Structure 1
Amino acid sequence: MSLTNASPADAAQAAKSASHILATLSAEARNEALTAMHDALAAARDEILAANARDLELARQAAADGKLSQSLVARLDLGKKGKFDDMLKGILDVRDLEDPVGRVTLRTRLDHGLELERVTCPIGVLLIIFEARPEVIANIAALAIKSANAAILKGGKESTESFVAISRVISAALDKTHVPNDAIQLVTTRDVISDLLSLDRYIDLVIPRGSSDLVRHVKNSTRIPVLGHADGLCALYLDPSADPALAAEVVVDSKTNYPAACNSLETLLVHDAALSTLLPGVASALAAKGVELRCDPASKAALAAVPGLKLVDATDADYRTEFLNLTLAVKTVAGVDEAIAHINAHGSHHTDCILTSDAQQAERFMAGVDSSGVYWNASTRFADGTRYGFGTEVGISTNKIHSRGPVGLEGLMIYKYKLRGHGQVSATYGEGEGKKRYLHERLPLEH
């Protein structure tokens, strides 16, 4: 990894050249680089956390002055809830995954002595633009190296000290491996995002990690394909058949486990038959965690007699808002079809859940909701690459092509076709007299 203040074009061209070398490295060489990176970061823990503390001090002051959101400050803290250890573990988890490069996914005999293969290969050069979250550098570097992609990273100014400290450690570690240093670059030059987004000749995929404003800006400013999501408007539908204890536990975890995360719950949809039976218990459990409920008239009336609740009249905008704090919008619906319609109209296609003991209702919900993750009786907080077994993730995608949901190694791969022959020419084949017919015989993937 290199810290570069080169021009965007020079940085991107160097990354492209490095990607060609990286694509030829063995799995062993790439894994050795990940081990070196992990060990170096572990040894530099105190130095990195000290740099992160300096960033945090400035960020908290900016938040107090109204210049930075509290959710961004929460994402910046690398020492919170074992985040540093999770970052280290993610590197080893990625290292220990099966090599994603060169997997044969199709084999076809076009003719005797003319065989076609489709094999996985890296995308090429990734551009990751992100805010806060200093662990993103290690996550992306690990996934990029394992998948043989080069990566250019551009972080927000609120995490500069953390980014630089982590990058220096990784750079020194990679210098002792076969991975070219230009394969992973942290761009330190300011005001270069628009220039980077214009470099579709060298950069193959952009992954924005940050606020909805950042993601929308990136999507509107480049010809390069963009992988990401703008909002995390996760909704949960409470069916009257749900188990009361299960409902309270899942809703509370979905909302309060980490409210600033994009997979936290923002809207609770309640069947009108569950207003008097299930909602009071769920609301009390949420209130115990300090959650404010923004209710429609029906749900507010159902909760009027429940003590200790923070109830506010909901507005239409509340059902389109990613709060990222201890605020939850509550809306009454007549059934699963209305819940599905609401989510598809107001959600962000991220992760949505149904709580029910009715399997038929659950399957209807999961088939009808147009989101990258649809859950039955499980917290929305499971929408995460580490929890899915991907080692870590480059982000969450709500795209309809290439990759959806938490994006790990598989989402960073594309494929190429390899054709092996013995001098055959296309003019030999076709319909009519004297022409050869293609066999198009599917072959087993393993020789």
Structure 2
Amino acid sequence: MSAATGTTALPAAEVAKTARNASFTIKSLPGSARDLALDAIYDALAAYKDDILAANARDMEAAEKLVDEGRLSRSLVKRLDLSRGGKYEDMLQGIKDVRGLEDPVGKTTMATKLDDGLTLHRYTTPIGTLLIIFEARPEVIANISSLAIKSGNAAILKGGKESTHSFAAIANVISEALSSTDIPPGAIQLVQSREAVKDLLDQDAYIDLVIPRGGNDLVRYIKDNTKIPVMGHADGLCATYIHEDADVRIATDVVVDGKTDYPAACNATETLIVHSKALTTVLPAVVTALQAKGVAVRCDAESHGALHAVPDTALSAAGKTILQTATTEDFTTEFLDLVIAVRTVNTLQEAVAHINAHGSGHTDCIVTSSETAADEFCRMVDSAGVYWNASTRFADGYRYGFGTEVGISTNKVHARGPVGLEGLMIYKYVVRGQGHTVGMYGSGGRKYLHEKID
């Protein structure tokens, strides 16, 4: 590690091999040693807050110039800003929350007596070596480092070029903090070289899992260029469906929060699906509230016509004139901005079909007064998170009580949804015998007991 930056300049193969060797040590450390390392990281990041925010300000200044030149999106800049809305304090709190969670390593999840003197136990064990590649979001360094250490995994982190100064400042602080703990060198490595990414993606002999944190292009590039398993999501195309019996206040609150609380987040609502019977009873109030927050509302033909036909008391004439016409592409677009697309359906089943066909499997919501309708929606929508009368913005590891998260997964195997400590663990089976052999069992031989051990 360079004392100047806290990052490593070793070749990718050496970085990966060092991390793998460190992973064998870190998972054998007692939970108390790993917790002390989190204390050290927390204290150091709190002490050097001003220096880190100053570095982040330099990144923000450079990013604003790129936005003006049309070379960087506004949504990415929002993710980059560590001073926004208490994000730095949230980062610190995330470390403390992870510190307070139960040690996930070595927990017994199954115990079976196979026969007299022959037992089977299943224990939780770390995945091993993680490679996390992310855009903007410099707080990811602290989040992932904390989760990796608590879960006994080694981690290699690669930040985006837009967060160069922030990355270097945080990396230096974390590196210095860990140098005084029992965490082995190489357990947390931070690389900045852009050229290192492709070489790291080739290290399937040493790296066990890649976790991308960024936009669609980054995730697809990683999936197309590695043999290592990838956990994550390419899009956050979340939908909220307003059923025919939806309460107007609940619908308005849930949709407005889902769209405007943090439009650049992957759990922001991008598509608003409305039952045809709610077009004139519920939708006008929702659209009025959205427009008041500066949201551009792009309507399909049916919703556009219905909104223009309602009295001006339901939706003002001015509000009607700024409605936009949706295109087919709008219903498959992750806007990450103050834009929402409105789609009309005639049945709940049609809403579910639209989500399953056009959504990204991230998080989707139904607003309804019917428990029966909500249960059907929650059963049928094929997404990692499905909500009833609650904003899609709740899809977050911190809000789920995971302390923080390494990301949100839409995978169908292993972890799904917000991935915290549990998602960074796998299983190990341990059999204890007294000279037992498979030849003892079978026709005319001994019989397995398969009894649960309390």
Scaled by the length of structure 1, the TM-score of the pair is 0.98
Residue number in structure 1 paired with 2:75: 71
CA distance in 2, matches of 1:431, 1:443: 26
- Counterpart amino acid of residue 342 in structure 2: V
Q: Pairwise mapping of residues 338-353 of structure 1 onto structure 2 (< 5 A)?
A: 338-353=350-365
CA distance in 1, matches of 2:245, 2:340: 22
* SS at structure 1 position matched to 2:219: helix
* SS at structure 2 position matched to 1:36: helix
Q: Are 2:219 and 1:207 equivalent residues in the alignment?
A: no
Check conservation: 1:109, 1:441, Cα contact below 8 A.
yes
Equivalent of 1:181 in 185, 206, 216: 185
- Deviation per residue, 1:98-145 (Å, 9 max, x gap): 110001011011111111100000000000000000000000000000
- Deviation per residue, 1:53-80 (Å, 9 max, x gap): 0000000100110000000000000000
Residue number in structure 2 paired with 1:327: 339
Residue number in structure 1 paired with 2:412: 400
Residue number in structure 1 paired with 2:264: 260
Equivalent of 1:31 in 25, 31, 35: 35
Residue number in structure 1 paired with 2:453: 443
Q: Are 2:445 and 1:426 equivalent residues in the alignment?
A: no
User: What 5-or-longer segments of structure 1 have no aligned partner?
Assistant: none
Residue number in structure 2 paired with 1:115: 119
CA positional deviation for 1:175: 0.6
* SS at structure 1 position matched to 2:387: strand
Q: Are 2:239 and 1:229 equivalent residues in the alignment?
A: no
CA distance in 2, matches of 1:20, 1:267: 45
CA distance in 1, matches of 2:367, 2:192: 46
Residue number in structure 1 paired with 2:65: 61
* SS at structure 2 position matched to 1:107: strand
Aligned-residue sequence identity (percent) comes to 62
Residue number in structure 2 paired with 1:284: 288
Equivalent of 2:16 in 12, 16, 38: 12
- Counterpart amino acid of residue 397 in structure 1: S
Residue number in structure 1 paired with 2:424: 412
- Deviation per residue, 1:377-428 (Å, 9 max, x gap): 0000000000000000000000000011000000000010011112222221
Q: Are 2:107 and 1:103 equivalent residues in the alignment?
A: yes
CA distance in 2, matches of 1:416, 1:439: 21
Check conservation: 1:4, 1:189, Cα contact below 8 A.
no
Q: Are 2:386 and 1:374 equivalent residues in the alignment?
A: yes
CA distance in 2, matches of 1:192, 1:171: 19
- Deviation per residue, 1:129-174 (Å, 9 max, x gap): 0000000000000000000000000111100100010011011110
* SS at structure 1 position matched to 2:298: strand
Which stretch of the first structure deviates more once superposed, 299-308 or 318-327?
Answer: 299-308
Check conservation: 1:351, 1:373, Cα contact below 8 A.
yes
- Counterpart amino acid of residue 72 in structure 2: L
Q: Pairwise mapping of residues 86-101 of structure 1 onto structure 2 (< 5 A)?
A: 86-101=90-105
CA distance in 2, matches of 1:262, 1:79: 20
CA distance in 2, matches of 1:190, 1:244: 49
- Deviation per residue, 1:208-261 (Å, 9 max, x gap): 000101001111111111000000000011012111111111100000000000
CA distance in 1, matches of 2:253, 2:193: 46
Q: Are 2:171 and 1:144 equivalent residues in the alignment?
A: no
- Counterpart amino acid of residue 344 in structure 1: N
Residue number in structure 2 paired with 1:297: 301
CA positional deviation for 1:436: 1.2
Check conservation: 1:21, 1:180, Cα contact below 8 A.
yes
CA positional deviation for 1:190: 2.6
- Counterpart amino acid of residue 184 in structure 1: I
Q: Give the RMSD, CA atoms, in angstroms.
A: 0.9
* SS at structure 2 position matched to 1:339: helix
- Counterpart amino acid of residue 131 in structure 1: E
